[in-house]
Chains A and B, each alone.
Chain A
Amino acid sequence: MGRVVATEKRPNTAHEFHFWTAIDSPIGIGTIVRVDGESPVAGQVRRVYGVVVEGFSYTDLQTPIHDVLGHDGMPGSASLAATERAEIRLYTAHVLRQIPEEPLQPVPMGAVALASDEDVAVALRMDSYLQPGSNTGIPVGIYRAGAMEAPIYLDADFLLGPEAAHLNITGVSGLATKTSAVEWLLSSIFTHFPQQKGSVAAICFNVKGPDLLFLDQPGTIDDNDRAMYEKLGVEPAPFERVRYFAPYTAKGFTLNTLRSNEQLAHNLTPLTWGLNEVMQFAEVLLNKDDIDAKADAFIDFLQERVIGREFHETPLSTPHRVRSFAELEAFFRDLLRGMEDRGSGEHWRTHHVATIRKVRNRLSNISTRCAGLVTDEGTVSDLPFGSFQDRTVYVVDVASLEEDAQDLIFARVVSKLREHLERRDLGVSHVVVFVDELNKYAPGDGPETYVRKMLLDISERGRYLGLVLFSAQQFRSQVHRRVVGNAGTGLYGRMDMDELATPGYSVLSAATKTKLATLEKGQLMVRHPHFAQPIFVRFPRPAVLRGRDGAERFPQAGEIPLEVAVMRSLRQLDPSISLDWVKRTIVGHEEAAVLRARNVTVQTRPDRVQHFFEAQFRRIVPLDAPARPATVPIRALPSDDPYGF
């Protein structure tokens, strides 16, 4: 295929070498080659593996003007030349591996050949983790060169921990590369993650559009994709076990997701939290500039002494057990009225009334800002922390939520995952957390946010727990350095040249950058701890329905009346429920009460759904007529009233 060449001006080193090939050789940027040395060193003929990073082509012309003169300035006459000029294809390759590895010497002269399947495995050090019996390889794609195709594997120990962990993928938007790559890789992980390494599940935050909302629906793949699936040993099928979670809309009738079509409701679960769930993460929602030390202290007091327990103290008129935002509001109302009515001064338990009012305002505001997610009445419908299932994808759709609500969901879900993984009671031993739009959630600059701190924490310590971050963004250069820096594995789709011009890509050759800027769909550049140099691979289209196609095939449910929304929710529990029954049951009740009854029923999942649902109204809605207030007799006129009649 070629021969190594070295000159004084362009010598070979231990990490880089040059070789030439025939004009028509299939060598290109990213091709893996093998050099067979000609002279033995210490009794062993050296073998060097490299990946092509740069290519040069030139003729024996000294200056372009000679060619112009030779053709009388007429480019068309070039085809009349009797002979084609001597031309060279000169390539520069970076060393992937040398055998023997010691002594490390400059690459010797020798013949250059295209790397075979076995060569690729050795060159990328995959041979160390593809051993029978201790195979921890996770297929990431196929490396192609000429007619040769070789599967490329990542090491599960370096992808999901404990040796290294985390994966970051970057690429321009609109090519579906990032999402597709993650979907494919999750399929591959679920298929190939070794049983002896434990169980694995994935939580995907769907942050935009319908990208991740149809992972359980089959998509369209072609024969090329099928061939790749076969070669990589992965079934070309949608995910078997997927559960979706989404909060309600602010109105509360339907779930706030593009996957609200009734046909797909079977694995869609509401995500609603109450006061208890939110107060732990109040920091996420409260503006630091607004909440000073005094307010912070009062919030701490509420969390420790008031919320979730019986509390009665002057100037409160009655005992309070605060379990929901509604009860918290009642507590505040009673407290402030008591302070005013009893003239107990401007302080209560050292907290100034202004601070109390401020905290009341900010906390009460949460259920409004996060309407649909945070409920006043405290109904909780959460991810199944503690009973996560192996090889299951949990998708949390936050695409339609306000930024505050998104932050709250990230913070709480990840914190809960961490808590459970620390206690080893999550249900699985490894969780992949996929977060897109890292530019937004963990930017390199801007104020410190709770979400960014949390992502940093996963990046730096998650691998010991089995908490693995798969992150994606358009501009890697604008993401916090420690988040991307801790990602053991990096995937790069098609990149913008402006992004490639940033210092983070200075280690890449100009040709590699050009290739990155022109990558087709389905192509990636892969960096992995075992690979000395980045490698280009192709991966198959995910066998799941694309978000856009899914949104067309399963249109989002439109605005529906309350009784229809209730019927659809309850039918998930009891298919016999009819619209008429729902109408009869809720007639005369307030909308909030109906929704509360529905939420409690859905959360409880009772055996006798209709009975349970009706019971909610009996308990909440007083059936007895209110007692008639005692009649206050009109005071009798004095007998000596001169004006009396």
Chain B
Amino acid sequence: MTHVVSDDGRTLTPDVRRTSVPSLGATFNDVRRELATRLQGTAPVTSPLPLELLSRGVQDAPSLRDVEVLDANGMGVYAVADAATPPRFAAFLDGAQWSLALWAGGIPVVHGTVAAVIRQREDRRMTTWRKPVVRRAVYAPLTLLPLTWQDALSAMDLEVVDTLATRKPESGHPFELQEIAYQSVLAARETIEKALAEEWCESTTLDLFVDGGIAGSRKVARSTNVVGVVKSHQRLYASAAHLPMLMGLQSGERSSVVRVSEGKRTPVASWYLRLRDASGHDPFWGLVRVEVALSDTSASRALLERADEVSRWILAEALPLSVPDARWDKMVYGIRDCEEFLRAIQ
């Protein structure tokens, strides 16, 4: 949860519903213009590119996690492909973010836009479910900012998030401050994605395909109509011994179901699935990790059958390709559609 502090004591806790419609005056250029005015003509210096493109974003360190295998036979490989399985997912959820930094001397002030959308599929065509959520805010270490900046930000009609409210910097390096701000933007994005997914779970029993993990929300992680598909593999949920088997998955094969439990996150059932033939490609080509709700009897036959079933649903999304996106080997078209939609309303 992202916290908000302002000088006048206003509570600026993110309210997804309230900020679901972009408000005028909150765009990056508007903020920059208004700051220039309030700072008496001194135009704030900006970074040339969004932080997402500057490789300043935070990434987990590559790691292997030993996990509990829920299959009675231990870690194994299962062929699940079945061309006859029809597409099942009724909707797709994805979020996006854009972060641009302004510099108050050596202090980064990050303008972040986060957005999330559910695109539902009816008669093979994609439309937006309810309304997309878009939220714009400024993320800054308020206490480190010059007073003129603090005054200017507090006087502006925009949401300001103090990035040091819950985390203290180790060194105070400007890039470290920027990274903290960036994490705050990520957290905001996760917040609205979670809220949207929960709204779906409360509204319908149709199956939802979520881009990324589902363990961040208890309600979502326990819903039987939500499937999370993770495309990044910085963290692999397998022991070193099982790694060769995992890397050797063939197209249409899945690994055994494991139990993934990370800190305060809700435990979920997870497995790896190879979507496409990786011949001639790196071992992660077409490899995704699937998350579904963990049933009460975690080793039940039903869970294993569900893994097969969900895998087939995902494999049924192999067409159309998500080209020209570079991650088309792992990304289903519904998620690409969400991304294009969010890019369009940015």
Contact = CB atoms under 8 A, between A and B. Distances in A.
Given A82-B316, A83-B126, A84-B125, A66 B324 contact: yes
Interface in B262-320: 316-317, 319-320
A229 B23 CA distance: 55
Nearest to A77: B319
Interface string A268-304: 0000000000000000000000000000000000000
Contacts of A81: 124, 319-320, 333
Interface stretch (A67-75, A162-170, A388-396, A530-538): A67-75
Contacts of B319: 70-71, 77-78, 80-82
Nearest to A61: B323
Interface string A253-267: 000000000000000
Nearest to A82: B87
B324 A86 contact: no
Contacts of B112: none
Q: Which of A23, A60, A69 has the most CB of B within 10 A?
A: A60
Contacts of B126: 83, 86
Contact-residue size bin, chain A (C-beta under 8 Å from the other chain): 10 to 19
A62 interface: yes
Interface string B321-346: 10110000000111011001000000
Interface in B109-126: 121, 124-126
A83 B332 CA distance: 10
B327 to A, nearest CB: 14
Contacts of A86: 126, 337, 340
Interface in A51-69: 60-63, 66-67, 69
B283 to A, nearest CB: 21
Nearest to B313: A82
B323 A62 contact: yes
Contacts of B124: 81-84
A61 B320 CA distance: 10
Nearest to A23: B125
Contact of A61 (B121, B324, B332, B337): B324
Contact of A83 (B320, B323, B324): B320
B340 A69 contact: no
A423 interface: no
Contacts, number: 57
Contacts of A62: 323-324
A80 B316 CA distance: 9
A602 to B, nearest CB: 76
B320 A67 contact: yes
A83 B126 CA distance: 8
A62 B124 CA distance: 21
B3 to A, nearest CB: 38
Interface string B44-75: 00000000000000000000000000000000
Given A83-B121, A85-B333, A66 B321 contact: yes
Given A83-B121, A83-B124, A66 B337 contact: no
Contacts of B321: 66-67, 69-70
Contact of A85 (B121, B317, B320, B332): B320
A422 B288 CA distance: 90
A67 B322 CA distance: 10
B323 A70 contact: yes
Interface string B122-144: 00111000000000000000000
A258 to B, nearest CB: 59
A24 to B, nearest CB: 10
Contacts of B125: 23, 83-84
A281 B277 CA distance: 89
A61 B323 CA distance: 7
Contact of B317 (A66, A78, A82, A84): A82
Contacts of B332: 82
Nearest to A70: B321
A618 to B, nearest CB: 94
Nearest to B121: A83
Interface in B81-107: 87, 89
B257 to A, nearest CB: 24
Contacts of A61: 323-324
Q: Which of A67, A81, A83 has the most CB of B within 10 A?
A: A83
Nearest to B119: A83
B324 A70 contact: no
A501 B195 CA distance: 59
A628 B289 CA distance: 134
A80 B323 CA distance: 17
Contacts of A66: 321, 323-324
A191 to B, nearest CB: 49
Interface string A77-108: 11011111110000000000000000000000
Contacts of A84: 124-125, 320
Contacts of B334: 82-83
A84 B333 CA distance: 9
A61 B336 CA distance: 12
Contacts of B337: 83, 86
A644 B87 CA distance: 140
A60 B334 CA distance: 13
Contacts of B89: 82
Contacts of B323: 61-62, 66, 69-70
A326 B319 CA distance: 92
B123 to A, nearest CB: 9
Nearest to B333: A83
A23 B125 CA distance: 11
B336 to A, nearest CB: 8
Interface string A414-455: 000000000000000000000000000000000000000000
A63 B323 CA distance: 9
A80 B89 CA distance: 15
A38 to B, nearest CB: 14
Nearest to B87: A82
Contacts of B121: 82-83
A144 B319 CA distance: 39
Contacts of A69: 321, 323
Nearest to A62: B324
A80 B84 CA distance: 10
A85 B317 CA distance: 12
A82 B89 CA distance: 9
Nearest to A84: B124
A571 to B, nearest CB: 74
Nearest to A85: B320
A77 B316 CA distance: 12
Contacts of B324: 60-63, 66
A462 B126 CA distance: 61
A63 B337 CA distance: 17
A583 to B, nearest CB: 85
Interface string A366-383: 000000000000000000
Contacts of A67: 320-321
Q: Which of B121, B319, B332, B337 has the most CB of A within 10 A?
A: B319
A1 to B, nearest CB: 17
B309 to A, nearest CB: 16
A82 B126 CA distance: 11
A77 B83 CA distance: 11
Nearest to B86: A82
Contacts of B87: 82-83
A86 to B, nearest CB: 6
B231 to A, nearest CB: 18
Q: Which of B89, B323, B337, B340 has the most CB of A within 10 A?
A: B323
16 contacts: A23-B125, A67-B321, A69-B321, A70-B320, A70-B321, A80-B319, A81-B124, A81-B333, A82-B317, A82-B332, A82-B333, A83-B317, A83-B334, A83-B337, A84-B125, A86-B340
A-B CB proximity, top 10 nearest: A82-B87, A70-B321, A81-B319, A66-B323, A62-B324, A84-B124, A81-B320, A83-B333, A82-B317, A85-B320
Given A70-B321, A82-B121, A86-B126, 12 more contacts: A60-B324, A60-B340, A63-B324, A69-B323, A70-B323, A81-B333, A82-B89, A82-B317, A82-B319, A83-B317, A84-B125, A85-B320
